[in-house]
Amino acid sequence: MKKNLGTLQAVYPMPVLMVATYDENGKVDVMNAAWGMICSSDEIALFLGEAHKTTKNIRVSKAFTVSIADRPHMAEADFFGIASGNDMEDKFERTGYHAQKSGFVNAPIVEEFPLVMECELAEIVETEHLHAIVGKIVNVAAEEAVLSEDGKVDPAKLDALTFDSFQHGYYVSGEQVGKAWNAGAGLMKK
């Protein structure tokens, strides 16, 4: 029997996305965002409030990058979620991390994270119940260490963090337990 838990953010797992931007002076800012997802074959949607420094930066620069946080960089990824760029001038510098300018968009790539999507601002959707930043993915780059022999990203090697909104924990994904478009194929024959 199920127990009623009230209103919760009951989606698991949630990604641990590092959203990197430049401000109007070219200063790097990075935030940890769990509320984001692919919304088309070449677009990503980030559900960020208007008050975030990142949102303000995206409105100015019209671009951003989204990296996947991984286990070796968990402390810094968490820090990017704890600290606000609105309140902490040296937020990025405190981590000792390095950024390089994307060759595709006006946004920084955080070198330490193994996978990055380079995005142009496609639109900002603002309704009574939604504030979404939609980015067109113009390039994806990955460290060779997280690629399989056929050149695709290998989730087991990526060691990507996921966020648990129930207990506020970080977990690592990567174990394959089935094949998509195959695991349920037997039910098609009934």
- CATH number where 147 lies: 2.30.110.10
Nearest CA-CA partner of 121 in 50, 78, 60, 72? 60
In a domain, 162, yes or no: yes
Residue 181 vs residues 60, 173, 178, 186, 188: alpha-carbon distances, Å: 41, 20, 9, 10, 11
pLDDT one-digit tens code per residue, 98-134: 999 999 999 999 999 999 999 999 999 999 999 999 9
Find all residues with CB under 8 Å of 112, minimum gap 6, and list them.
73, 76, 97, 98
On whether the CB atoms of residues 99 and 108 are closer than 8 A, the answer is: yes
Is 9 part of a structural domain of the chain?
Answer: no
The verdict on residue 83 lying in a domain is yes
How far apart are the C-alpha atoms of 150 and 175, rounded to whole Å? 18
Q: The pTM is what?
A: 0.95
Does the pLDDT at position 175 exceed 90?
A: no
pLDDT digits (tens, 9 = 90+) for 131-151: 999 999 999 999 999 999 999
Residue 144 lies in a domain: yes
DSSP-assigned beta bridge partners for residue 189: none
- pLDDT bucket at 53, cuts 50 / 70 / 90: very high
Q: Is residue 6, in this structure, part of any structural domain at all?
A: no
Residues spanned by the domain of 123: 14-189
Distances (CA, A) of 71 to 51, 77, 87: 29, 9, 27
Query: Does a structural domain hold residue 22?
Result: yes
Distance between CA atoms of residues 138 and 120, nearest Å: 7
Count of structural domains, the chain: 1
Residue 5 covered by a domain: no
The pLDDT tens digits for 64-93 are 999 999 999 999 999 999 999 999 999 999
Residue 85: the pLDDT is 94
- Whether residue 4 is contained in a domain is answered as no
